[in-house]
Each structure stands twice: as structure tokens, then as C-alpha cells.
Amino acid sequence: MKKIAVFPGSFDPITLGHVNVIERSVALFDEIIIGIGTNTSKNYMFSLEQRIDFCKEAVQHLNNVRVEQYDGLTIDYCKQVDAHFILRGIRNGGDFEYERSIAHMNKSLHPEIETVLIFTDPQYAFIHSTIIREIMKNKGDVSSFLPKNITVYG
């Protein structure tokens, strides 16, 4: 069985913390799919096309990572692409509690799919896309928090 993991998120934008989790996880899986989901309750700063391009450029150096967009529940998308793992990054205790609740819910829906939690390296633990977007909206410099390919700042 091929070990496929889905790393779901809105990636609005993808950050160095996301890339850190992906880079540290590539040895664990045969393939990682960055799954850009659609959250109807979010107002995105970047278009879907921009987010896909940012993600593709940020991981182009990793040959077992691809980027796809999906709609609906992540757990259903995992079944669709034959992924038996959901990869999630953890920055802090708040993330852990949130991710644990989702992992338990997903396990009850599809027991054959495991959630794998990877803690970000400490230097990325404070990076949060919501805060990045706020800094960008106010014309602040976020270049030290984002992959080099993201050159649109605010």
C-alpha cells in the first residue's frame, strides 16, 4: 500500500511554518498532497489560483509533493485520492486541542484514516496566516515569514 497523506488547509497564504511541516514529513510518506480546501465561511486574501501557485512554487524542490484543490470534507477527499493519512501541523497547545477534536471526529467517520501531527520547529511556532494577512493589509513586511516565491505584500 502506498503511503499517501493529505495536508489540508486554505494556505492563504502558505507560510514557512507550513513548508517546515511538509519538508519534515516527506520522508514519512510516499506522497503528500497539499489539499487546498474551500471554506465557505472564509474571505480569502488570495485567489484559489494564487494559493495553488504559491504552494506549488514553495514545494517545487520536493518530488513527492503535489498540490490539488478540493471541495467538501477532507476525510471524503482522502478516500477519493486513496490517502490513509491526514497530515497536520501543530504550533502550540491551542492547535493541539483543536486538531485532536478534528482527528477524533474524522476517526469516527472513517476509522481507516489516521491523523499524523507534526510540531513545527520552534522558530516557526508563532507564524499564523491570519496574523500574516493582517500585517499585509496594513502594508507591513512579512517576507521573513513566507516562502520567497510570495512577493505580493499587502
Q: Does domain 4-137 have CATH number 3.40.50.620?
A: yes
Tell me if residue 41 is catalytic: no
DSSP 8-class letter at 121: P
Domain ranges of the chain: 4-137
pLDDT of residue 41: 79
For this structure, is 143 an active site residue?
no
The single residue of 56, 66, 91, 110 carrying the catalytic annotation is 91
| Catalytic residue (choose from 18, 51, 88, 133) | 18
Determine the residue type at 70: Y
The reported pLDDT for the residue numbered 154 is 46
In sequence order, the β-bridge partners of residue 5 are 32, 85
pLDDT tens sequence across 103-122: 999 999 999 999 999 999 99
